[in-house]
Amino acid sequence: MSKPYTKTGDAGTTSLIGGKRVPKYDDRVEAYGTVDELSAFLGVLSDHDGVSAELKQLFSHIQDRLFTLESHFAMDAESEVSKMIPSLTETDLTFVERQIDSMNALLPPLKSFVIPGGEQRASAAHVCRTVCRRAERQAWRLAAQHPVDPVDLKYLNRLSDLFFVLARYFDYQSGHVESCWKPVE
């Protein structure tokens, strides 16, 4: 049985897909690490009581797409392995948009900024949203230095919108009144 540790990262470097070694603070590592963090938080959201089987299936599908995205960011573009990694497509974007639209149609119109919190599933969805936004910022930083598929960037943008709508949906579903920002004058 192989050991789960390699000791190859003890000097502060890690391998990209394809074998190229880079510092652990490399923008590619930050980008795929943040997407990995998002996937982990999505797992936490999925494990909350009251998450329907349908939503669990949706979250599993999204986690699959996030692994694809992580692979894109972790890939040495000059590697032959890059040809074996699947792509995200416009169909993936449309799928997320349909999910957003179907949930959003059930919600009251938004008239103010929503303060994160509320019902536990909603709070977890807000954490997913903020981590997704950070992943998107990391991806744009990466895109300034390395080729990044525009669909990958759009997918993260749509996904953060989905998590926002999910948070509102969970509050609505549970009867929890959203906390809206009312600026103090």
Residue 8 lies in a domain: no
Q: Give the count of domains, the chain.
A: 1
Residue 63 lies in a domain: yes
For residue 88, pLDDT over 90 is answered with yes
Residue 37 lies in a domain: yes
Residue 108 lies in a domain: no
Q: Could you tell me the CA-to-CA distances from 48 to 45, 73, 77, 119 in Å, in that order?
A: 5, 29, 38, 11
Say which amino acid occupies 49: D
Residue 4 lies in a domain: no
Write the pLDDT tens digit of every residue in 16-55: 777 888 878 889 999 999 999 999 999 999 999 999 999 9
How much is the mean pLDDT over the chain? 90
Residue 77 lies in a domain: yes
For residue 102, pLDDT over 90 is answered with yes
**Per-residue confidence (pLDDT) for residue 175, from 0 to 100:** 82
For residue 93, pLDDT over 70 is answered with yes
> Which CATH number is 31's domain given?
1.20.1200.10
Residue 106 lies in a domain: no
Closest C-alpha to 17, from 88, 87, 77, 86: 77
Write the pLDDT tens digit of every residue in 145-175: 999 999 999 999 999 999 999 999 999 998 8
Max Cα distance, the chain (Å): 64
Closest C-alpha to 83, from 18, 33, 28: 18
Range of the structural domain that residue 66 is part of: 13-88+115-174
Tell me how far apart the alpha carbons of residues 135 and 129 are, in angstroms, rounded to a whole number. Answer: 10
